Amino acid sequence: MFADRAKIYVRSGKGGDGHVSFRREKYVPAGGPDGGDGGHGGDVIFIVDEGLNTLTDFRHVGKYKAGDGQEGGKKNCRGKDGDDIYIKVPEGTVIKEFYSGKVIADMSGDNRKVVLLKGGRGGNGNQHYATSTMQAPKYAQPGQPAQELELTLELKVIADVGLVGFPNVGKSTLLSRVSNARPKIANYHFTTLNPHLGVVDLPDMKSFVIADIPGLIEGASEGVGLGHEFLRHIERTKVLIHVVDAAGTEGRDPITDIYAINAELANYSEELARKPQVIAANKTDAIYDLKESPVEQLRKEFGPKGIDVFPISAVSGKGVNELLYHVRQMLDGLDEKPTVFEQEYFPEMALAVSDEPYTVTYDELEQEYVVEGPRIEKMLGYTNLESEKGFAFFQGFLKDAGILDKLEELGIQEGDTVRMYGLSFDYYK
């Protein structure tokens, strides 16, 4: 069965605790501290697998956990890092936080690999806490806790053009006519239960991808019939071909059908309803002895709204090329970049925010400004500073937490160095 939605639980690895131990050495108090650092916890990483086209695997496995870091050992031995966990998803998968429904990552376009949750940092062993006055520290730092999230995975197919319309109006037949796709075709409702993609090749023009979306019915935006289970698949499309049965072979009025389907699109998403449309008046070879052509009726109704109408026969191919060339011209006037949903939910922001203390001081010896404390350490441990968005988020955290204000109160100037738990950077406004 085609699966385009799944709920899963993910957890990064816990950082290993630092170790407390002392070596045996003459004239050294308690033998001298030699407790090693704990290993870092594993990350939760999502990657695109070109060989996947459904989320079926997630119906069977719902929990994914990265490895925990090991505790540090004697003789300054560092604990082993936890194993990262790689979760493979098909291209077009949108990862959302389950409770808010906000987008964390869209595995489309250039997003082929995303570190969703970072593992906890390993704690420092007692070797780090030896001072001239405390030569035998019996304290080691615990590892940072793991992060966990419940996620919704949604697969939204990536196509330039989407075929929409009521069941049994000829969408699958049209797709099989214009591309290499071979959807199941029969004369009954809901023959298409899964979205089908096909590539349309036109002489002397760029090809484009077209998707056959299962037929919609009134109430689809509220889940009636196949409903919004498949409406999400046309969210990425740039142009919609609205296929109607112009001959009314099942006693339906094509104009009424178009308004009904457009109402469902608007109920689901205003952005979806605003997408450029073209009407494919199908089954014209079955129109006989009518006083006024249904095609002309469609043109009179929708022409003033800027929607072109093309009479076609998906069975014979009549009028299909004219439709395709017109769609290609519509696409040429639009942005070619694939639609990628922007991130709305930042795990590091939601999971790492705390009221724990921090300090901002100036180190006269090193001539550096030092920011430290549990709150800073936690934020650094959970934020992926290698990504542009992660670094931007961390800059926002420094501002919102009042850290930048305190640095300025201490007299920091542009180009001065700021140090945070091994991370150093120059200060610029």
Position 113 scores a pLDDT of 93
Gap between the Cα atoms of 235 and 77, Å rounded: 52
Checking phi first, is residue 31 left (phi over 0); if not, alpha (psi -120 to 50) or beta? Answer: left
Give the per-residue pLDDT at 89.
93
More confident residue, 240 or 388: 240
**Cα(154)–Cα(164) distance, integer angstroms:** 20
For position 116, what pLDDT does the model report? 92
pLDDT band for 190, please (50, 70, 90 cuts): very low
Q: What pLDDT sits at residue 186? A: 39
Averaged pLDDT for residues 49-72? 89
How would residue 199 be classed by pLDDT, with cut points 50, 70 and 90? confident
Can you tell me the distance from the alpha carbon of 114 to that of 104, in angstroms, rounded to the nearest whole number? 10
The pLDDT assigned to 342 comes to 84
pLDDT digits (tens, 9 = 90+) for 84-96: 999 999 888 999 9
* pLDDT greater at residue 41 or residue 2: 41
CB 4 within 8 A of CB 211: no
Least confident piece of the model among 34-38, 76-80, 231-235, 333-337: 231-235
pLDDT at 334 over 50: yes
Report the range of poorest mean pLDDT among 137-141, 169-173, 283-287, 384-388.
Answer: 384-388
Backbone angles phi, psi at 151, to 5 degrees: -125, 150
The predicted pLDDT at position 183 comes to: 42
- Its pTM stands at 0.67
pLDDT higher at 388 or 366? 366
End-to-end CA distance of the chain: 54
Q: How far apart are CA 185 and CA 79, in angstroms?
A: 60
The residue that leads in pLDDT, 106 or 396, is 106
Q: What is the pLDDT of residue 420?
A: 81
Which residues, at least 6 apart from 53, have a Cβ–Cβ distance to it below 8 Å?
A: 90
Q: Which 8-state DSSP code applies to residue 33?
A: B
Closest CA to 66 of 130, 120, 136: 120
pLDDT tens for 353-372 read: 556 677 888 888 888 888 88
Q: How large is the average pLDDT for residues 367-390? A: 73
| pLDDT classification of 384: cutoffs 50, 70, 90 | low
352-360: long-range pairs with CB below 8 Å, 24+: 352/378, 352/379, 352/381, 352/382, 352/383, 354/378, 358/401, 358/403, 360/403, 360/406, 360/407, 360/410
Among the ranges given (148-157, 182-191, 343-352), the one the predictor scored with the smallest mean pLDDT: 182-191
Mean pLDDT of 11-38: 83
**Residue 386, pLDDT score:** 67
**What H or E segment, with its residue span, contains residue 363?**
strand 359-363
Length reported for the chain:
429
pLDDT > 90 fraction of the chain, expressed in percent and rounded: 24
Q: What is the pLDDT of residue 392?
A: 72
Judge whether 401 and 383 are in contact, CB under 8 Å.
no
Q: What is the pLDDT of residue 400?
A: 77
Cβ contacts of 246 within 8 Å, gap of 6 or more: 254, 281, 282, 283, 284, 287, 294, 295, 298, 311
CB contact set of 416 (below 8 Å; sequence gap of 6+)? 368, 369, 426, 427
Tokens of 300: 């009179």
Distance CA 189, CA 193 (A): 10
pLDDT of residue 230: 60
What pLDDT is attached to residue 187?
45
Give pLDDT tens digits for 140-152: 888 888 889 999 9
Q: Decide if pLDDT at 172 tops 70.
A: yes
Is pLDDT of 286 > 70?
yes
Helices assigned H by DSSP within 17-95: none
The contacts of residue 203 (CB under 8 Å, 6+ apart) are none
Provide the pLDDT confidence category of residue 387 given band limits of 50, 70 and 90: low
Mean pLDDT estimate for the chain: 81
CA distance 94 to 22: 50
Q: What is the pLDDT of residue 162?
A: 86
pLDDT digits (tens, 9 = 90+) for 26-60: 766 557 788 899 999 999 999 999 888 788 889 88
